[in-house]
Homo-oligomer: A and B are copies of this chain.
Amino acid sequence: MAPNLFPSEHLADAQAQLDRLIAAHKPGHALQREFQTDPGIYRLDLERIWRRGWLFAGHTCQVKSPGDYFVFDIDTDSLVVIRGDDGAIHALHNTCRHRGMRVCQDESGHLGRIVCPYHQWTYARDGALLACGGMDRDDDLDRSEFGLHPAHVREVAGLIFVCLAEDPIAFEGAEQSFAAMLKPQGLERAKVAAVRSYEVNANWKLVWENNRECWHCNTSHPQYVKANWDNAPIDDARLKQEIEAHARATSARLRAHGLVIDYEEAGMVRFPSADCWWSINRTPLVPGWVSESMDGRPVAPVMGDYPIRDVGTLRMRTMPNFWNHSSSDHSVSTRLAPAGPQKTRIQVSWLVDADAVEGKDYALATLLPFWELTSEQDWDLCENNQAGVNSSAFTPGPYSTKREYNVIRYTDWYLHQIATP
């Protein structure tokens, strides 16, 4: 059975199972096994989360000029994200209105018009049907009704978000936060230096549960914890003082440049909540570290408007599929997409200033390892987590409110979304 092809006639069964599972879920505890395995729950995840929320698709710098495009697959859906002649970015379903052929088969590229390779139905860069020569109905076929199905698109500060729903949820809150905070990073003037793509054998929610705490960082991410304090217990008073002092000192230095460290606490910023799917904040790096690199030293030229290198890390995340860590010299975006009940497609992209030259201004050998290692360590954990959850003996255990408060928040967010028809 292909990923999202759960038979519609069994959706009532899936809803009934969901109701039973939600009723039996213990607050503060892990989700039951079926949430991570069942094809019917997976189908509901697609409908109520992946085809409802705003999804991070990519970066505006990937589609700089009209006709530039890239493809973004979500389960068996496929979107062509393309810049139109009007300069706006469009997201178009990659399925010809004639017989359903994928109109774009490459992962990215440049197109004058979108010409379906099957029978040359020809669409403008905004999806409008321009020509379908050969149709006898050219006269009575109303072309305006046969444009590529669009998805909603929003751009903010170099990031592109799409939404598959007919009536998307509000974007303004995220837009304001991101626009203000992301401005100095200059992502619009960046370029993608490298991309790594992964197929992880784990349900997408296990990937988030992994992401939403740094308790596991101590042993699993030796290089990450050298640079960051995410793994600090929130009740370690001495460490708390040290972090706050360092954060204030960084802030003091940054304030002159209109920047601020807005998260001074130990541990991770609280996110998500039932009614907020985005967040962004600036965090200090540990003393001596000016970039999320293996040794803390810079790995590329300064990006955007930063007047100094030592700006901490700008971090953001949006539910259900995006997180990004930006140092002053590079920015790393992680994008998730479900590909089955136990499969998640993940793309990690490294961005640097658009003018930086590989081999001269930066080298992949120093730019990539910090997040490449951290990411791959996490995917391993997720796959072994899925394998263990598949056991018939698995019983969801309690989360730590000190160490896994964000996993609890995440689980609450998820249950709220999935319970909403």
Q: Which residues of A contact B (CB under 8 A)?
A: 1-2, 4-5, 7-10, 13, 16-17, 30, 33-34, 37-40, 46, 51, 75-78, 93-103, 105, 117-120, 134-137, 141, 146, 149, 164, 209, 215-216, 218-220, 233, 235, 341-342, 381, 384-385, 387-403
Contacts and interface: CB of A to CB of B under 8 A. Distances in A.
B77 A119 contact: no
A392 B95 CA distance: 10
B93 A385 contact: no
A316 B100 CA distance: 28
Contacts of A385: 99-102, 118
A397 B215 contact: no
Q: How many copies does the complex hold?
A: 3
A96 B390 contact: no
B137 A401 contact: yes
A398 B7 contact: no
A134 B233 contact: yes
B78 A388 contact: yes
B146 A381 contact: no
B95 A391 contact: yes
Contact of A392 (B77, B105, B209, B401): B77
Given A37-B5, A51-B392, A78 B117 contact: no
Contacts of A141: 398
A76 B7 contact: no
A104 to B, nearest CB: 10
9 contacts: A2-B341, A9-B40, A46-B392, A78-B388, A99-B385, A102-B384, A102-B388, A134-B233, A136-B402
Contacts of A397: 96-100, 146
B4 A1 contact: no
Q: Which 10 A/B pairs are nearest by Cβ-Cβ distance? A: A93-B393, A76-B390, A100-B389, A95-B388, A102-B388, A136-B402, A95-B391, A98-B397, A100-B388, A149-B393
A219 B120 contact: yes
A381 B102 CA distance: 9
A1 B381 contact: no
A360 B94 CA distance: 49
A220 B99 CA distance: 16
Contact of A393 (B33, B95, B120, B393): B95
A342 B2 contact: yes
Contacts of A391: 76-78, 93-95, 100
Contact of A39 (B7, B103, B341, B399): B7
A157 B134 CA distance: 38
Contact of A387 (B51, B78, B341): B78
Contacts of A9: 13, 16-17, 40
A218 B397 CA distance: 55
Contacts of A5: 37-38, 341, 390
Contact of A220 (B13, B117, B137, B209): B117
Nearest to A384: B102
A216 to B, nearest CB: 5
Contact of A400 (B4, B136, B399): B136
Contacts of A17: 7-9
A186 B399 CA distance: 48
Contacts of A98: 30, 397-398
Given A100-B388, A102-B384, A120-B218, 13 more contacts: A8-B34, A75-B392, A77-B393, A93-B394, A95-B388, A99-B209, A100-B394, A118-B385, A119-B216, A136-B235, A137-B400, A146-B397, A149-B393
